[in-house]
Structure 1
Amino acid sequence: MEHSSHWPKHPKHIAFIFHPHTLLKLLENEKKGLIDLLDMTRDYSVMPDSQFGAPDLHKTKEFFTQAEIEKMASEDEIRLAKLGYKQGLKRQFSALETFGLVLTNSSVIIGVIPFFGTAMFLGGPVAFTWGWLITGVFTTCIGLALAEICSTYPTAGGLYYYSAALAGKKYGPVASWFTAWFNALGQVAGCSGSVYAAAQFFNIFLLNVFPSTVSFVLLSDGSALNANATVLTFAIMMLLIGLINTFGGVALKISSYMSTFIHIIGGFFIIIMVLATTKTKQSSSFVFTNFEDSTGWTSTMGAAPFFVAMLGILPSAWSQIGYDSSAHLSEETHSAHINGPKAIMYTIGASIALGWGLILSLTFCIGDFNYQSATPWGQMAAQIFVDSAGVAGGSILILIVALAGFLCGIGTVAANSRMLYAFARDGGLPFSNYLVVLDKKTGMPLRLVWVSTFVSFLLSTPALFSTVVLSAIGGVSIIGFTVSYAIPIFIRITIGADTFVQSEFNLGSYSKIIGWIGVWWTAFMFVIFQFPNNTLGAFPVTVQNFNYVPLVVGALILFAGGWWVVDARRWFRGPHKEAGLEDFGTASEEKA
């Protein structure tokens, strides 16, 4: 087959086309000048260094054809080509739609309100009120560090791709391997916890609106929610979430707009409604200084109150994760190198502000502390809603929380399926060739949608015999997310510091200090959430109050680590590049 007169005749010329400097010039002219740039390569003899290094062209299996290059009509496609991938997923989300999905995934409403009762006994109002702001500072540092990397690497692989690209050939495979598995754990646990909480609130809503459902929602003695009924509602919700994700982009867009409305308008409505209907409010000293501990750490184990307050960071940290879904939606977002980082930071900012408003309003509006904290519903905030706004008004607020959790599940499954798609695309999952197939009609990774849905369901089934399932899932999700955040950040500020090329969103000279703050905060949370934290009494440890965070995290480390040592290290090379740049590495590695 003859080459066009415009087609470069030397491999170096082709490599030059995909060099970042060349592509930036392409972006300025879009289609105009594409052929001229191809002509320019005839006289270009030396390829400059890049953050990936000079590719081994002798190992190249596939290059873009001239026709494909000419069809690259968008800046996003060219940037994705620079990272080594062809456009597979459909670009369909605007900045607002992506922000809505990311806000859904973070879901401050479902983070703060279901965990409010837990927070009141893990340090009390003082720990939750101030702990929220302290956590927000560290979360912002992690978000800034990730947003900077996201701007440079706008691909669906997200954190997994970041680790591979930053660590180079030597460490990239193992770094991306563990990043992917921890992120997957965080995603499925986050979805599981959010939807399980939504199921609890929906059943409480049924109980208030339809009193005849009492025998279904509560145990026969009326002392607590019926775990069997909650798990059944949870299963139905997970099925609906899987179906909505199956319907494709239109359904996700609708849920995105609904989520934005529920989380912002609904959140402010809850704040205003509770404050307006509560006649007698708590004092400022109660809200900002009162300490509580029902775990037994101070009374039984002699621990300092400060230690219990550290355990009380759990509800705050649970509410401030999930913003990495912006990265996983990069290949479906227009101008992802700009809108992706924006979605991360807007979500964190909105979550911190709205979350603190929810915490203050609920804490000021606590009535009879002992009565409300001991409610048979198992959700102190729901009891506050009804006591303040009445059955009708309180039921509306309860339903808003249930909807927020349900919408959070939709967004989380969407994001997780995209991350798993990128991982399977690169051979990282069992049966990858089967799982990576995209639906021809919707362009969605439907098989991975249902894998994510099913695993999320399985994680909450211990609720049938455990009283701490929600806090345990929260701890698992926090560790899964934050460890997967910390790995690429750590690599970025250490071995990748000299090769990382900053893009439009960057931190300048503050990158390292902000990155180190995020890494140390992650290490702290990894340790603190392993301890028993049952607010009904953590001692003695039993099957009912056992914190199974160490068990789940340990199982993941053994599984992923064992598979790596025994087999995966021999064949897994991290993200495969479709555009002729198969292996990651730095220029210095290639020259050496």
Structure 2
Amino acid sequence: MAPSQTAMSVKSDIELRVTTPIHGDNLDQTFRTIGGSTKDDEQLQRLGKRPLLNRGFGFMSILGFSCSALLSWEGILVTSISGLLNGGPAGVIWGFLINWVGTISVYTALGELASMAPTAGGQYHWVALMAPQSCSSFLAYMTAWMTTLAWQALAVSVGYIIATMLQGIIVLTNPTYVPENWHTVLIIWLAGLFAVMVNSTTSRAIAKFEGLILILHLAGFFGVLVPMVYFAPHNDPAEVFTTFLNTGGWSTQGLSFFVGFPAIAGSLLGADCAVHMSEEIQHAAVVVPRALLFTILINGTLAFAMAIALMFCLVDLEGALGAAETMYYPFLQIFYASVKSITGACVMACVVFVMAVASSVGVYASASRMLWSFSRDRGLPFDRYLVKLTSRALPVNAIFVTLAITVLLSLIVLGSAIALNALLSLAIAALFSSYLLVCGLLLWRRTTGAFQPHYNAPEIISPGNLAWGPWKIPEPLGIFNNVVACLYSILLLFWSFWPQTTPTTPDNANWSVLVWGAVVIFSIVWYIVRAKNYFKGPIKEV
């Protein structure tokens, strides 16, 4: 089907709807209009896309959305177990610091691209614009599959964290409770249903919900940190910053540190959800990059503070690691050892649990928008079904398909919880595969002078007519940051496939490399056999 025909089929399914009026923040006057989101719609049309979604998010609401999806200080409590096993207290602290700097670099580069082309497709749309024409469609197709895979894996991972955290809290209050795998599966389904219910309202309702979550996210940080630090005995600074562990049986401490390195990065995963909500954000070319950077700076600061506090309060290391076998997460034991009260520890843990449930809303929203965007460009099976919107301009079909995928993948836990745990590694590998490609292409294009200044932007943004958006890092700092982003992405991608222990057996292997490789091979074969005949990159709808 030709692009023009595809555009007509899309028009038959979805009516063009008027965007919501601006209730915006004090932003760049370039993107401010009196009557509504006209400038946003014009920029989307310059990229060849019709404005179909309601723009219900401003800066504060999308910041809350990103912060809750990122789940940083809450996430470091969950992901610190792998860092403790391979790296120890010092490995958690220094590993997080390196990951934080690298993530800032990557998201800064993504912010520049989001300012240039703020679309729900994100990475694959940018690849289509920057890649050589001879392989543009193929690379865009591969990137879209990697990004789609990553967000679906994140949706299941968040559900698994919610389920196991709730079971851990139950064990803390009732040690006789024995968590069953089918219990975990049912809780994952319930968490997914909650995320679907919230996402099936309106973008404005979701924006208000995320604004409230931002307040809870900040208040909950102090509600957990203060009692833990105040009541718990403390380790010496030398024990926190210089004690490394190698419980995985690796040949060197350095190797052990890097094996635990990707799991710590998991607490910083998901801030780019704002990218996939771009077509629902007012003043997107300015707000999206700002939201990316503010999210990673705010959440990184909170997570770093929580990591340091957690390691200082980790007096009984053996007890905390043992708690991972019974309560899934060492932080539950640390809470109890700190406040000496089951009730107090449960209240603190429930704060983390509520934030984990709230994060599922943002993850499902981003995962469904990625499905919708890829289907809009005819990249997925059943695209005619997935691309449809409701009367409230919501991709409900894509939202329910995300739930269905979560339901199916969650069945893995019936056979092996370790296999499902590998989904976090899979999400890291898939996301950073797409990050590496777009950062590499951006570095190539900016060093060859392919981008025009923002004030000289062409009427149509296309592979032969690239222009910076209103948000850009000046040179040579931009090139330097771009190089750092590429190097960090390579480092994290390489170590994300490693198992946690050695010798490695089928029971403790990291199966993420198998799933990632299978998706890569499938997408290559499917592109050669069929997709190359109908997928030509982002379709020009206008």
TM-score computed with the length of structure 1 as normaliser? 0.80
* Preserved CA contact (<8 Å) 1:156 1:331: yes
Q: Distance in 2 between matches of 1:555 and 1:546?
A: 16
Aligned to 1:503: 469
Q: Distance in 2 between matches of 1:547 and 1:383?
A: 26
* Preserved CA contact (<8 Å) 1:109 1:404: no
Aligned-pair distance for 1:485? Answer: 1.5
Q: Distance in 2 between matches of 1:235 and 1:486?
A: 33
* Deviations, residues 318-339 of structure 1 (Å, cap 9, x unaligned): 1122122111111111101110
* Preserved CA contact (<8 Å) 1:413 1:449: yes
* Preserved CA contact (<8 Å) 1:122 1:311: yes
Aligned to 1:43: none
Does structure 1 residue 478 correspond to structure 2 residue 428?
A: yes
Moved more, 282-291 or 469-478: 469-478
Moved more, 350-359 or 104-113: 104-113
* Preserved CA contact (<8 Å) 1:149 1:162: yes
Cα gap change, 1:542/1:167 in structure 2, threshold over 3 Å: closer, same or farther? closer
Q: Distance in 2 between matches of 1:162 and 1:540?
A: 39
Does structure 1 residue 295 correspond to structure 2 residue 242?
A: no
Q: Aligned letter for 1:186?
A: A
Cα gap change, 1:124/1:141 in structure 2, threshold over 3 Å: closer, same or farther? same
Aligned to 2:57: 93
* Deviations, residues 493-533 of structure 1 (Å, cap 9, x unaligned): 21465323222210121322222221222122222121211
Give the share of equivalent positions with the same residue, in percent: 25
Does structure 1 residue 426 correspond to structure 2 residue 348?
A: no
Q: Aligned letter for 2:286?
A: I
* Deviations, residues 215-272 of structure 1 (Å, cap 9, x unaligned): 6x42xxxxxx432222221121112212221123244224312331232221232111
Does structure 1 residue 194 correspond to structure 2 residue 158?
A: yes
Moved more, 429-438 or 461-470: 461-470
Q: Which has the larger radius of gyration?
A: 1
Cα gap change, 1:351/1:315 in structure 2, threshold over 3 Å: closer, same or farther? farther
* Deviations, residues 195-232 of structure 1 (Å, cap 9, x unaligned): 211211222333445x3xx66x42xxxxxx43222222
Q: Distance in 2 between matches of 1:294 and 1:574?
A: 47
Q: Distance in 2 between matches of 1:457 and 1:291?
A: 39
Moved more, 283-292 or 243-252: 243-252
Q: Aligned letter for 1:557?
A: V
Aligned to 2:96: 132
Aligned to 1:445: 395
* Preserved CA contact (<8 Å) 1:108 1:263: no
Moved more, 243-252 or 354-363: 243-252
> When the two structures are aligned, how many residues end up with a matched partner?
494
* Deviations, residues 373-392 of structure 1 (Å, cap 9, x unaligned): 10211210011112212111
* Preserved CA contact (<8 Å) 1:328 1:418: yes
Aligned to 1:47: none
Aligned-pair distance for 1:470? Answer: 5.7
The structure 2 residue matched to 1:365, chosen from 308, 313, 322, is 313
The structure 2 residue matched to 1:532, chosen from 483, 499, 517, is 499
* Preserved CA contact (<8 Å) 2:37 2:282: no
Aligned to 2:125: 161
For residues 386-425 of structure 1, the aligned pairs below 5 Å read 386-389=336-339, 390-425=341-376
Residue aligned with 2:390, SS: coil
Does structure 1 residue 546 correspond to structure 2 residue 500?
A: no
Cα gap change, 1:314/1:461 in structure 2, threshold over 3 Å: closer, same or farther? farther
Q: Distance in 1 between matches of 2:156 and 2:393?
A: 25
Aligned to 2:286: 338
Q: Distance in 2 between matches of 1:255 and 1:362?
A: 29
Aligned to 2:194: 240
Does structure 1 residue 348 correspond to structure 2 residue 296?
A: yes
Cα gap change, 1:144/1:540 in structure 2, threshold over 3 Å: closer, same or farther? closer
* Preserved CA contact (<8 Å) 2:112 2:472: yes
Query: Which ranges in structure 1 are unaligned for 5 or more consecutive residues?
Result: 1-25, 32-70, 219-224, 298-302, 580-592
Aligned to 1:59: none
Q: Aligned letter for 1:503?
A: G
Q: Distance in 2 between matches of 1:312 and 1:400?
A: 26
Q: Distance in 1 between matches of 2:103 and 2:76?
A: 15
Query: Which ranges in structure 2 are unaligned for 5 or more consecutive residues?
Result: 1-28, 452-466
Aligned to 1:261: 215
Cα gap change, 1:445/1:295 in structure 2, threshold over 3 Å: closer, same or farther? same
Aligned to 1:385: 335
Q: Distance in 2 between matches of 1:101 and 1:146?
A: 17
TM-score computed with the length of structure 2 as normaliser? 0.87
Moved more, 332-341 or 566-575: 566-575
Aligned to 2:45: 81
Q: Aligned letter for 1:511?
A: G
* Preserved CA contact (<8 Å) 2:73 2:304: no
* Preserved CA contact (<8 Å) 1:94 1:333: yes
CA RMSD of aligned residues (A): 2.1
